[in-house]
Amino acid sequence: MRVFVTGIAGFAGPVAAAALLEAGHVVHGLVRGAGPWPRLAGLPLAPGALHRGDLADGRFPDVVRDVAPDAVVHLAALSFVPAAERDPAAAYRTNLGGTLAVLAAVRAHAPRARVLAVTSGDVYGAVQATELPIVEETPLRPLTVYGASKAAADIAAAQWARAYGLDVVRARPFNHTGPGQDPAFVCSALARQLALIEAGKQDPVVRVGNADPVRDFSDVRDIAAGYVALLERGRSGEAYNLCSGDGVSIAEVIALLRTHARVPVRVQSDPALRRAHDVSRIVGSHARATEHTGWRPARQLTTTLRDVLEDWRARIAAGG
């Protein structure tokens, strides 16, 4: 298939593109600005496969017409929860508005293309302990602006599929991490601190907000494999959780990272890093994705965290 990936230069985009290429698909991507896009440098993309533009740009439908995709993987998003809280309008404009722009362009210029609308596990929000593990029928009760904007996009994608006959599959990925992730996200932030300590650029203290919440962490490479599985074998109109199915506290993440550290460190709670909305435990079920597509996560969290730490060692050694 010819697959058009929005957000191809983001965190998950290059990993998803690599997985698609490995599966034999032809990949095109939407990029913003003039570049460079270093995380795309190693991908064997065809000349002309990257298309400059913005989902909010009135010319985006023309890009879809010119690419004539068989499928679209919609990854472009505002994904940092605190940033969404600071500017709710921007979060809705990007996450809901961007999804609507993709759907409208596909409806107009590629009506038979499959759309993989990537939302988030944050759409579930205020989940009670008795509702775990989270399944796709769990009510959407988002707590954050980010979660609400993604829930709106999820609902809109389902509505466009029903109303206009589009082939839409919704992916709801839970927390995922891996090499190359921005340090604004918890696993990457903790690994970066360890790498800075090892390099003698930070006191031997790892600062963390609330270490008690339990989250469902996956490797971004497993999530990208899930996107390919849903694109190829997911059922039209369905929503799918992509997750590990295991709950791990932030304290346990720190403990796993410490097993890979080269120096001893202390851990200190920093109230400034605490989030206003923290559900105590979030664990998903990937049973539907496994049943329908055969996908299941393959990597252990300790291996993923080791890779994230190694990536930060290399970035810091290079002056990053």
CATH number at residue 124: 3.40.50.720
Whole-angstrom distance, CA of residue 151 vs CA of residue 310: 34
- Looking at the fold, whether 258 and 310 belong to one and the same domain comes out as yes
Residue whose pair of structure tokens reads 């300790």 in the numeric block: 302
Instruction: Give the rounded distance of the alpha carbon of 41 from its chain centre.
Output: 20
Check residue 190 and give its pLDDT: 98
Sheet of 167-173: strand order equals 50-52, 26-31, 2-6, 71-74, 114-118, 167-173, 239-242
Check residue 276 and give its pLDDT: 67
Q: What tens digit of pLDDT does each residue of 138-147 get?
A: 999 999 999 9
SS3 172: strand
- Looking at the fold, whether 51 and 171 belong to one and the same domain comes out as yes
- Looking at the fold, whether 135 and 272 belong to one and the same domain comes out as no
SS (H, E, C) 87-153: CHHHHHHHHHHHHHHHHHHHHHHCCCCEEEEECCHHHCECCCHHHCCECCCCCCECCCHHHHHHHHH
Structural domain count of the chain: 2
- Looking at the fold, whether 141 and 208 belong to one and the same domain comes out as no
- Looking at the fold, whether 160 and 264 belong to one and the same domain comes out as no
Q: Could you tell me if 195 and 264 are in contact, meaning their C-beta atoms sit under 8 angstroms apart?
A: no
Query: What's the whole-model pTM score?
Result: 0.97
- Looking at the fold, whether 15 and 40 belong to one and the same domain comes out as yes
Residue 210 falls inside a structural domain: yes
Whole-angstrom distance, CA of residue 258 vs CA of residue 261: 5
CATH code for the domain in which residue 256 is found: 3.90.25.10
Residue 103 falls inside a structural domain: yes
- Looking at the fold, whether 121 and 224 belong to one and the same domain comes out as yes
- Looking at the fold, whether 22 and 83 belong to one and the same domain comes out as yes
Q: Is the pLDDT of residue 271 over 70?
A: yes
Look at strands 239-242 and 266-269 and give their pairing.
Answer: unpaired
- Looking at the fold, whether 9 and 56 belong to one and the same domain comes out as yes
Residue 289 falls inside a structural domain: no
- Looking at the fold, whether 233 and 264 belong to one and the same domain comes out as no
- Looking at the fold, whether 75 and 120 belong to one and the same domain comes out as yes
Q: What's the pLDDT band for 106 if we cut at 50, 70, 90?
A: very high
Average pLDDT over residues 287-295: 98
Q: Is the pLDDT of residue 227 over 90?
A: yes
Check residue 270 and give its pLDDT: 85
Structure tokens at 183: 């340090």
Domain limits at 305? 186-215+247-284+299-317
Percent of the chain with pLDDT over 90: 93
Q: Is the pLDDT of residue 216 over 70?
A: yes
Look at strands 248-249 and 214-215 and give their pairing.
Answer: antiparallel
Residue 101 falls inside a structural domain: yes
Q: Is the pLDDT of residue 131 over 90?
A: yes
Residue 258 falls inside a structural domain: yes
Residue 131 falls inside a structural domain: yes
Q: Is the pLDDT of residue 266 over 90?
A: yes
Whole-angstrom distance, CA of residue 61 vs CA of residue 53: 10
Q: What tens digit of pLDDT does each residue of 39-72 get?
A: 999 999 999 999 999 999 889 999 999 999 999 9
- Looking at the fold, whether 193 and 258 belong to one and the same domain comes out as yes
